[in-house]
Structure 1
């Protein structure tokens, strides 16, 4: 009887191993008892579960790859087609009056900017994935970065019919950061807010001091983010509901870049959102270097910058 029971358990394990070998990772072996074979079956089931999870991740990555090809193809073709049509119209003399020519050139400039932005996003994300993000941190005036961002997006906000405002409270300067990279964070967050805020809405960029440093927040009165999308919005190429993402555009990389830059600074970003009411993104920048902070993405070129107090102010 004992020999038959052992044989049955070994046979069950053998059948399970054969099933897993053929790619059926959902296979589990059910063996009762408290002997070594029972523990082996438990280990087998754990292994099968890990393989099943890895296979699911592989399928998701493959789906992301296909989506990336489709999204990038669309996002490249659309402005390219527009620029091509404009160039052909100008070259063939179809358009010759100065006013129309100027309007066509403005459109071409906008579309070329969109192409450059997409390429920059792809390049930056590839660098970050490879651990190549370099930070040059120093003492910088966050109030200047906010002013620059508001100026950069002022025209876009007017064209969209959205009120864009900002405020740097007393005591926010300086912060210890890479000014260029934090400018990229602010730009991506404001751009994201403008894209998802309808005409008549408002986007605000504020900074105010707290004990831990300086809170920087971007709030909008836009469409909000569905609760099921919130955990995924910082993933590469994630755009949530497809109908919404197509209408608002974007490469699906902006928020992923934001997260990568802030994590390289040792900073976490928080998001609060209510569908139909708006969204708030917030993070805290330090006002002095943390000697214990480190991150594998950080490659500071000059560790003496902080000690010398160099940087934008």
Structure 2
């Protein structure tokens, strides 16, 4: 041990004499600690922080014990206790800090993933909408030019062109309405006027409007509203949810198929279920049916007649946003000959 009464030069000389011995003891500990850090580098950040705290402490204690010749005098005992106290303080701090950094890293990673997914969704939406807008616009332009140039002159042909232009215009108008509604949802600008709404009446109104569409496609629409729950919501937005689900079911159900709408109560929730005859959705696509601009594969049976245009991929995304704005839940799963879309909304307090 170093005597404090020795001259400074002697103390420096003594320290230089024991330095190689101290390094010989400390370096193996550092090497083992480095190997341990490399081994746990892919583990949790908390484990890494713990190893980072323990390795220097172990190296210091090993060096002190080796230099002292493992002679546990008062000075060595005091130093060991100080090292132990530092370890007891720094180790919990390292654990807490490691967990905090890990949570922040996970949050930042998830935020980046959400941002990338949102950007990909926006690009996909722009691509889909650009295509869908060009198609009816090109048709309207061609038919308008034919009428203006006198290519079509007989009254029946003119009436047919006018009817087709009107249909394409309605389709464009619907797409614009969907985009506006989706923008309100994604921007958080949706304002709901909440009141007690009889879900059965909403379903009845929607089915009355959708029945002509189903009849043109020879699709049967069955409704079971034996229990008509009352929910707290906004009537226009709930009607849009039901309309989007029913029209989606009719669109993807082949001729002579059946669309079934059921209303019921399950605990504290009102349940709306819409079953179609689409033939089922592949399991890999079930989790994406509510994504913006997602239309699925050919397993979703298209209309063979071509009268029903393929949707813009926005209806289900809008339905999901509106349901969640009502603090409800919506999901889809294969059921029977097709798929079931199920909406759960909190019952209104009586």
**Alpha-carbon distance in structure 1 between the residues aligned to 2:260 and 2:280:** 15
Task: Give unmatched runs, 5+ long, in structure 2.
Answer: 1-24, 56-93, 304-308
Aligned partner of residue 262 in structure 1, secondary structure: helix
What is the Cα deviation at residue 182 of structure 1?
Answer: 0.7
Indicate if the aligned counterparts of 1:202 and 1:221 stay in contact, CA closer than 8 A: yes
Superposed CA deviations along residues 33-83 of structure 1, whole A, max 9, x for unmatched, are: 834277799778887776665555444344323322211111111111111
Match of 1:252 among 288, 291, 313: 313
Cα distance in 2 for residues equivalent to 1:50 and 1:287: 34
1:67 maps to: 124
Deviations 1:203-259 (A, max 9, x none): 122324555354322111222211122222222233333785998722222112111
Which of 280, 302, 306 pairs up with 2:340?
280
Equivalent position of 1:162 in the other structure: 219
Residues 123 and 9 (structure 1), Cα distance of their counterparts in 2 relative to 1, 3 Å cut: farther
Q: Does the 8 A contact of 2:202 with 2:235 survive in 1?
A: yes
Structure 1: unaligned runs, 5 residues or longer: 14-25, 291-313
Residue number among 272, 276, 279 corresponding to 1:220 in the alignment: 276
Q: Distance in 1 between matches of 2:326 and 2:179?
A: 21
**SS, match of residue 207 in structure 1:** strand
Structure 1 residue 185 displacement after superposition: 0.3
- Cα pair distance change 1:122/1:148, threshold 3 Å: same
The match for 1:36 is 53
Q: 2:135 aligns to what?
A: 78
Compare relative contact order (CA 8 Å, sep 6+) and give the higher one, 1 or 2: 1
1:89 lines up with 2:146 in the alignment: yes
Say whether residues 1:195 and 2:251 are aligned partners. yes
Larger Rg: 2
Q: 1:149 aligns with which of 203, 206, 209?
A: 206
Number of residue pairs the alignment of both structures matches:
278
The 5 Å alignment of 1:164-313 reads: 164-169=221-226, 171-172=227-228, 174-209=230-265, 211-212=267-268, 214-241=270-297, 249-274=310-335, 277-289=337-349
Aligned partners of 1:46 and 1:241: how far apart in 2?
38
CA gap 1:172/1:213 in 2 versus in 1, 3 angstroms: farther
Task: Determine the structure 1 residue equivalent to 2:82.
Answer: none
Aligned counterparts, 1:129-144, within 5 A: 129-144=186-201
- Distance in 2 between residues matched to 1:245 and 1:132, nearest whole Å: 35
Q: Which residue of 2 aligns with 1:299?
A: none
Other-structure match for 2:7: none
Where do 1:88-107 residues align within 5 Å? 88-107=145-164
Structure having the higher helix fraction is 2
Q: Secondary structure at the match of 1:34?
A: helix
Question: TM-score, normalized by length of structure 1?
Answer: 0.72
- How far apart in 2 are the matches of 1:96 and 1:106? 15
CA distance in 1, matches of 2:117, 2:301: 19
Identify if the C-alpha distance between structure 1 residues 12 and 110 changes in structure 2 by more than 3 Å, giving closer, same or farther. farther
State whether residues 212 and 284 of structure 1, in contact with CA within 8 Å, keep that contact through their aligned partners in structure 2. Answer: no
Change beyond 3 A, Cα 1:200–1:47: same
- 8 Å CA contact 1:205–1:218 kept in 2: the answer is yes
CA contact (8 A) 1:204 1:218 kept: yes
CA drift at 1:132: 1.4
Which residue does the alignment assign to 2:19?
Answer: none
Q: Structure 1 149/273 Cα, relative in aligned 2: closer, same or farther at 3 Å? A: same
For 1:176, what is the secondary structure of its paired residue?
A: strand
